[in-house]
Amino acid sequence: MDSDNVRDSQFKFNIDSSLLNLVKLVLKAGKRRHSIETEADYKFMVEDASHVEFKFIETLLLAVPPEIPKHHVLGETKIKTQSKDDCLHMRFALLCENELHRKDPDVLLQKYSHITKEMYDSFFKASVNSIKFNIDDSVISNLKKLSNTLFMELETWQLAKNVINFVSGFEERETFESNILKEIENLSTNNFKYKYFSMLLNWLEQSYLTRQSMEISRNIDSVSHDCTWRSYSQKFLNNERLAHRHITPKLDPDATTRLNLPICQEDSILEDFFHCVLFKMYRSGNHQKVVCSFKKVQNLCNLGDQTWRLPSLIYLPMFDPNFNVGELPPAILLCTYQLWHDSCLKMSNDDFSNQFERAIYGILTGNIDAIYPVCDTYNDYLWANITCYIVKTIEEKILKFLNPESPKNHDLEMFKIGKILKNISKLSKTLTGEERFFHALQKYIITMDPNIFQKMQKYSFLLVEDHILRFYTHFVLLYKNFTPIPDDLIIKILSTYIDHLIGIKKFEIVPLYVSFMPKSVQVIKFVHCLKTIKPVDKKQFLKHSEIYNLDTVAICRSISLSTSNKYLSCHYSKSQMTDNHEQLPEALDCLEYPLLYQQTHCFAGLIVLKVCDTLLASEEFELVSKFLHTLPKSLLSKIKQEKNDKTQTTLLYYKLKYLSTICELESLVSQARKTLKYDSKCILYFPSDNSETSYQVNICGIEHSNF
């Protein structure tokens, strides 16, 4: 017995069955080249997957492209990929039903964001873990696409929440403080633009932190004391053979600038990494929390053995009202501000410095040209502009306080939100369709455009995407509570979403969204939906309409009339009839809906009347007999009840009375048919609208009058 088998025999394989199934399914989905059958083989995979929940495979299956059959991923194993609680459509519908009528957008937006965040985290983890398990590339690609779409949806929900709260909560307050810190703090209460830009900055930084938090934490953990040239450079300087290399022979921080010589390549790589990590902390907004408490940035600089850098990084936050000023060390006095500012500005323009280092000092001084080179996405460019506006605004206040006669800072005029959004659309990289959709919507939200939904129609071709369609539908429903939206736009988006729900067989929530449509089109849309649903689902579908207060009587009436007109215009021949009652004329199907409600029984009677009239006129006596025998007893009772009701004086009364006569003569017609030849005739005399003349049926020369 070889050593591997001995090890396998000694290994007690004790693992949760769901996790074992997960490994098996993932291995099948990944189409691994080597066989994994023994416990030892599984041990490696299980240890690698021990942190993965069973829900991973469910999320994974949701990302399988439509062109790949599910059984290719699952093999012969059947697994429920979605429960009602996990389905975004069902969860959003439940929120709409319970919260939308309250017209409290803050609560609803918070819950939308929470659900979307859960799904984004699930898809993101699945995309990361799928790489470990060698999942098919198409599945991984689809996972990344879905997670990216959900992240942009999350961003947009949070932006809408912030903007709505900002507009509803902003109010100016008078102040008489002359202290510089108080004056700057008053920017956030009395200056609408400054406060609005601060809100947008917070949104952008929180969005970035949501997506990059794991990477930032991992990179901070990677920073060590080896992040300066005091490590490798020392080795080079101590080596006589390398003493003549073109690197700085000094180890102080200013040596590279003073001697115009670089540090060694190894140290340069490590320092670039340090600057990159530090910049990402600023990009995520972490510098606000960590600088004011003087902890994380201090720790990061200490980890990188760059404590000397700290004073230059903490100065400006002293004047930012977002910080808790009381916790800041009195490192630099206000009178030295100009010296500090000029030094940082010079460092941000230093071509010999790392681009992330220049960007950091560009953030501190509002030098947007130093930040742009490290921007990668649309949101990065927007963040850079908003950051620079806030810094420039604070700077203007400080300089005005130091020198009341200082000139106005005209640089602030370039930071107009419409102009910013227009410029960054040209700078950012080519966007996917989903990114264009969400960025356009975010743009209109930020600018508070009153015609947001009219302008978004140009992106309607993207509403074929499941998540985009779901998101935009609920976004429209939310906004229509406090913003006028044309009915045609509401009808269009709801109709598209309803058709999508029917396509994915979410019948139970369709009536909810029909109820959000204008009253004038609810019946028409619901009837249209009924026509696209299988007969076995129609009754249940109709019952759901009662829950959401749809006009079920009008719906049944519309269905009955439309279907009866369709089928009664044609002639029914003997070839259409068999002994199987299911193959009777389609008109029988028309009776299904009017019989559900007492208010529509009269329409059932009219349909029966039309059918019998058509059949008798064609001398199809057997068909009349068979048709009448298939009618429910409740309908015949209703007909007889209507006949005996002497208060009826309308045309409907006469027609029902005529129908009753047909029912009573049905047995006579059936008996006479046995002795009649095929060319015998049955003549019916139908009265005028208000005539009370008797109805006569001439069968085989024998006249039978109405009783």
pLDDT, tens only, 132-150: 666 666 777 777 788 888 8
| 266-324 pLDDT tens trace | 778 888 888 888 888 888 876 554 444 345 666 666 766 666 666 666 544 444 444 44
- Give the range among 127-136, 284-293, 334-343, 677-686 with minimum mean pLDDT: 677-686
One-letter identity of residue 14: N
* 702-705 and 696-699 strand pairing: antiparallel
Q: Are 646 and 596 in contact (CB under 8 A)?
A: no
Torsion angles phi and psi, residue 682, rounded to 5: -120, 120
**What integer pLDDT is reported at residue 398 of this predicted model?**
74
The mean predicted confidence, pLDDT, of the chain is 67
**What integer pLDDT is reported at residue 370 of this predicted model?**
93
* DSSP 3-state of 89: helix
Tokens of 665: 């003569």
**What integer pLDDT is reported at residue 310 of this predicted model?**
66
Range among 202-211, 324-333, 417-426 rated most confident? 202-211
pLDDT tier at 19, thresholds 50, 70, 90: very low
pLDDT surpassing 50 at residue 72: no
Could you give the CA distance from residue 469 to residue 456 in angstroms, rounded to a whole number?
13
Question: What contacts 349, CB < 8 A, 6 or more positions away?
Answer: 358, 367, 370
Could you give the CA distance from residue 620 to residue 291 in angstroms, rounded to a whole number?
93
Give this prediction's pTM: 0.68
Neighbouring C-beta atoms of residue 637, cutoff 10 Å = 11
Q: Are 109 and 478 in contact (CB under 8 A)?
A: yes
Please state the rounded mean pLDDT for residues 341-348: 84
**What integer pLDDT is reported at residue 179 of this predicted model?**
57
Could you give the CA distance from residue 32 to residue 565 in angstroms, rounded to a whole number?
60
- Give the range among 32-41, 177-186, 406-415 with minimum mean pLDDT: 32-41
pLDDT tier at 180, thresholds 50, 70, 90: low
Neighbouring C-beta atoms of residue 495, cutoff 10 Å = 17
- Give the range among 8-17, 234-243, 501-510 with minimum mean pLDDT: 8-17
Q: Which residue did the predictor score with more confidence, 194 or 567?
A: 194
**What integer pLDDT is reported at residue 562 of this predicted model?**
67
pLDDT tier at 235, thresholds 50, 70, 90: low
Helix (H) or strand (E) holding 682: strand 682-684
pLDDT surpassing 90 at residue 383: yes
Could you give the CA distance from residue 595 to residue 290 in angstroms, rounded to a whole number?
71
Please state the rounded mean pLDDT for residues 390-406: 76
pLDDT surpassing 50 at residue 29: no
Closest by CA to 579, choosing from 625, 632, 536, 615, is 625
Please state the rounded mean pLDDT for residues 435-446: 89
**What integer pLDDT is reported at residue 400 of this predicted model?**
73
Please state the rounded mean pLDDT for residues 498-508: 85
**What integer pLDDT is reported at residue 691 of this predicted model?**
38
Please state the rounded mean pLDDT for residues 532-550: 76
Tokens of 355: 């681009």
Q: Dump the DSSP string for 629-658.
A: HHS-HHHHHHHHHHHH-TT--SHHHHHHHH
Percent of the chain's residues with pLDDT above 90: 4
pLDDT surpassing 80 at residue 678: no
Please state the rounded mean pLDDT for residues 21-49: 42
| 556-605 pLDDT tens trace | 777 766 665 655 555 444 445 444 344 455 556 666 666 666 666 666 66
Could you give the CA distance from residue 693 to residue 707 in angstroms, rounded to a whole number?
11
Range among 111-125, 636-650, 675-689 rated most confident? 111-125
**What integer pLDDT is reported at residue 381 of this predicted model?**
92
**What integer pLDDT is reported at residue 386 of this predicted model?**
92
Please state the rounded mean pLDDT for residues 94-113: 80
pLDDT tier at 629, thresholds 50, 70, 90: low
Could you give the CA distance from residue 507 to residue 325 in angstroms, rounded to a whole number?
57
**What integer pLDDT is reported at residue 625 of this predicted model?**
67
Please state the rounded mean pLDDT for residues 628-640: 64
- Give the range among 160-169, 440-449, 671-680 with minimum mean pLDDT: 671-680
